[in-house]
Amino acid sequence: MEHLTPARTTADSENSVQADQAGPRKFTNPFVTATGEARGHVDLARLETLWINTGTLCNIECKNCYIESSPKNDRLAYISLGEVTAYLDEIEALGMGTREIGLTGGEPFMNRETIDIMTLCLERGYNLIVLTNAMRPMMRFKSRLLALRERFADQMTLRISVDHYSRMLHEDERGPRTWLPMLEGLQWLSDNGFSIDIAGRTRWGENETKLRDGFARLFAEHGIKVDAASTKQLVLFPEMAPEQSVPEITTACWGILNVDPNSIMCATSRMVVKRRGADKPSVVACTLLPYSEDFEFAATLADSAKRVQLNHPFCSKFCVLGGGSCSAKT
């Protein structure tokens, strides 16, 4: 089940995992931590979820976007229907057993081939999750989305980014005049019977109970059919600040934290990206690290089944200690 817990360990446990030292030596050697211990790693157990980055262009520019999406950032180019088709063909040729395809951006609906890509994935029998801000780019495709809902309602989920239950803090992150267009799109999806869930953020320091209560009031006020108490329907992601000092993960951490490495996102997923100017897409380990060469494998899924060294602060903060996952699996 997709879930979020504020942390999988207490502060004392974190300190026992790895001294939280400042300085440039942390997260530099892929195999050894700053204190000389063997770095934690994750092997691909199975490819349950394949993420497709549709491109980094977005209609808005958030204050703390991990992928730096904006109306100008095209570091990841629009991926095409033909390129996605090739990866689905590879999944099926290799018998990889993948059950879920995820589309992320940028804003996926900026890419005019996204609806065709969604149709392809659904017609091939995959469960599909699309991460969107539900604003104008999505609303351009209302009639085609309704047609997909009629055919594939049980296979398709749209995850809407609602950073906070208050307009003030949502717009603090996403910019002015972003609240009402999001709310219009969210209400349209809910009123028309789409399977939706919500992605919120924890950057303002409120505890989980207060956040869920606030979202529950928002959903009730606007008739949004989302259960704020459900950790699947309302996902509260741990905040990731690149400048924040976090513990490194060692091979001993799995036992100390009682965490199974097979529960970490890169044990069951990969992401396809198309770099600006590249002849073809490539496969990376993680949705959170699309630009890092250390987490890029090759052009094919067959060549991406490699060990992932947890050599980035996001590995620690989001996945191991934060318990975060982008998938919609239950």
The predicted pLDDT at position 2 comes to 30
CATH T-level fold of 11-320: TIM Barrel (3.20.20)
The percent of residues in the chain predicted with pLDDT above 70, rounded, is 88
pLDDT category of residue 237 using cuts at 50, 70 and 90: confident
C-alpha 234/C-alpha 304 separation (Å) is 31
pLDDT category of residue 319 using cuts at 50, 70 and 90: confident
Model-wide pTM > 0.75: yes
Q: What is the DSSP letter of 23?
A: S
**What 3-state class would DSSP assign to 35?**
coil
The predicted pLDDT at position 215 comes to 98
Average pLDDT (320-326) is 68
pLDDT category of residue 103 using cuts at 50, 70 and 90: very high
- pLDDT, tens digit, for every residue of 136-174? 999 999 999 999 999 999 999 999 999 999 999 999 999
Nearest to 81 by CA among 130, 120, 137: 120
- pLDDT, tens digit, for every residue of 192-208? 999 999 999 988 989 99
Quote the distance between the C-alpha of residue 238 and its chain's center: 11
Q: Which residues pair with 200 in a beta bridge?
A: 236
The predicted pLDDT at position 313 comes to 86
- pLDDT, tens digit, for every residue of 119-129? 999 999 999 99
pLDDT category of residue 246 using cuts at 50, 70 and 90: confident
Residue with tokens 């749209």: 158
pLDDT at 13 over 70: no
The predicted pLDDT at position 283 comes to 97
Q: 223, exposed or middle or buried, with CB in 10 Å at 0-12, 13-18, 19+?
A: exposed
What rounded mean pLDDT belongs to the chain? 89
Tokens found for residue 232 = 């699947």
pLDDT at 60 over 60: yes
pLDDT at 38 over 80: yes
Domain ranges of the chain: 11-320
pLDDT at 64 over 90: no
pLDDT category of residue 243 using cuts at 50, 70 and 90: low
C-alpha 177/C-alpha 216 separation (Å) is 22
pLDDT category of residue 238 using cuts at 50, 70 and 90: confident
pLDDT at 72 over 80: yes
Strand ranges (DSSP E) for the chain? Answer: 41-42, 49-53, 100-104, 127-132, 156-161, 195-201, 234-237, 269-273, 282-284, 308-309
pLDDT category of residue 317 using cuts at 50, 70 and 90: confident
Q: For the stretch 294-319, what's the b/e string if a residue is b when 16 or more beta carbons lie within 10 angstroms of its beta carbon? A: ebbbebbbeebbeebbbbbbbbbbbb
